[in-house]
Structure 1
Amino acid sequence: MATTVEATSREQANAETGPTPWYRDRNRLALAGGIALLLIALLAWFIQASNRRKEEFAQRSLTQARSAAEAGNLPLASSELQKLIQTYEGTDAASEAVITLNQVRMVNGQSELAAVGLRAFLADNPEEKYRAPASGLLGAALENAGRYGEAGEAFTNASKTAGLEYLRARYLVDAGRSYRAAGKPAEATAAYRSVVQNFPKTASFTEAQVRLAELTGGRM
């Protein structure tokens, strides 16, 4: 009986003094945490490097497509731009390619198709730096298609998102022209007056003054 008790006591003592489970070992936990952080850092670096290479390839494709357009080979340029947009979706080059593609379409007399493409691009909420040029080009496409009221709205939106005063003023003058063509003198007057009141130092000021005077009988 005594022997059994002694054996049991020794087993309990050995169990109490045995190796510490890994999840209670602070050194091991610290090592595991360090390895996890290293893996996360490596993954982040890999993603950044991959995105950088993707952007570089996309920019090369964009340059080639633009060169084709400048050389007058619009069908090739259009094909290359569409391929770029699909292959490198999410890159800056792909966003620039959308705008360039729709410029090519307008040169080809496909203003309605350009308007559809630009509306879809804007509906996807692109980065702010692309909203003004896309909206301005949409206005031009709609104006070419004879949809003057919609063109005026697009130019107005372009002015709201443009970052430079001279662009904001230019888009408002474009909006005023489209609204006049649409038979909307009130909207045209508001666009021209906004230029006169808010952007007097821009090159568009004089034109806005003249157009506003035409609409209001000389009243500013």
Structure 2
Amino acid sequence: MLIAAVGFYLWNAQQTEAEAQEHLGQIERVYAAGNYEQALQGTESQMGLLEIADTYSGTNAGNLATFYVANAYLRNDMPDEALTYLQRFDKDQDLVGASALAAEASILEDRGEFSEAADLYEQAASYVESASLSPRYLINAGRAYESAGNLDAAQRVYTEIQETYADAPESEEVQRHLARVNAKRAQSTS
């Protein structure tokens, strides 16, 4: 009996994923064309990203629709709505997960939530460990840490760029950032 129940569950999950993929495939063309509002809401014949994200939230396609919803809201200059969906998005440790974390961090930084933003930027850097993206995320983390007044953390991430990504273009900026952190330290002790 248990084997039959597990088999039915797996079959049902596959069917649900296939349905979600089909709906997402139809609306992705609208999304890719930059018609974000229509992609969010759908059409008479196509389920929109919002409905796909909600209806199929337990599927990979539903999760990807959640990411697309967040991005569409960002493109429509609706950061609060985007943040809601970025936080719902189940992030893998890959390029998409890193970009979702960085987008979330950017929104929080704009809101003045600098410590939280810095933590997310650092997490994004660790998700991809890319010589092209990680240093940029770490620069952003350092800037946010500085804004939060956490000079030790800012120095730590700037130094990490210097030591780990010495060949990255951002490493050329690091000396300037470290000098600014040291000047802020000196200013706070005088």
Q: For this structure pair, what is the TM-score category when the shorter chain's length is used for normalisation?
A: 0.7 to 0.9
Shift of 1:209: 4.5
In structure 2, relative to structure 1, the CA distance for the partners of 1:145 and 1:70 (3 Å cut) is farther
Q: Which moved more, 1:76-85 or 1:148-157?
A: 148-157
Which of 174-183 and 201-210 deviates more?
201-210
Aligned-partner Cα distance in 1 for 2:26–2:141: 34
Greater RCO structure (CA 8 Å; 6+ sep): 2
Q: Which runs of 5+ in 2 are unaligned?
A: 42-47, 184-190
What amino acid maps onto 2:36 in structure 1? L
1:78–1:104: 8 Å Cα contact kept in structure 2? yes
Q: Alpha-carbon deviations, 1:139-180, whole Å to 9, x = none?
A: 1222344443432222123234x0433343332122123333
**What whole-Å deviation, never above 9, does each CA across 1:63-111 have from its counterpart, x for those lacking one?**
3333223323221222311101111121112222222211111122211
- One-letter amino acid of the counterpart of residue 64, structure 2: E
Q: Which amino acid aligns with 1:108?
A: N
Compute the TM-score of the two structures, normalised by the length of structure 1.
Answer: 0.64
**Aligned pair 1:49/2:17, yes or no?**
no
Structure-1 separation of matches of 2:174 and 2:71: 26
Match of 1:107 among 48, 67, 75: 75
Distance 1:145 1:44, change over 3 A: same
Q: Aligned with 2:57: secondary structure?
A: coil
Query: Which segments of 5 or more consecutive residues in structure 1 lack a partner in the other structure?
Result: 1-35
Cα deviation digits, residues 14-69 of structure 1 (max 9, x gap): xxxxxxxxxxxxxxxxxxxxxx6xx82x5544433332232232223333333223
Aligned counterpart for 1:64 among listed residues 12, 26, 42: 26
TM-score, length-scaled by structure 2: 0.72
Structure with the greater alpha carbon radius of gyration: 1
Q: In 1, distance between residues paired with 2:91 and 2:113?
A: 24
- Change in Cα spacing, 1:65 to 1:140, as seen in structure 2 (3 Å) is farther
Indicate the SS of the match to 1:165: coil
- The number of residues matched between the two structures is 175
Is 1:95 paired with 2:81? no
Q: Distance in 1 between matches of 2:130 and 2:35?
A: 35
Aligned to 2:186: none
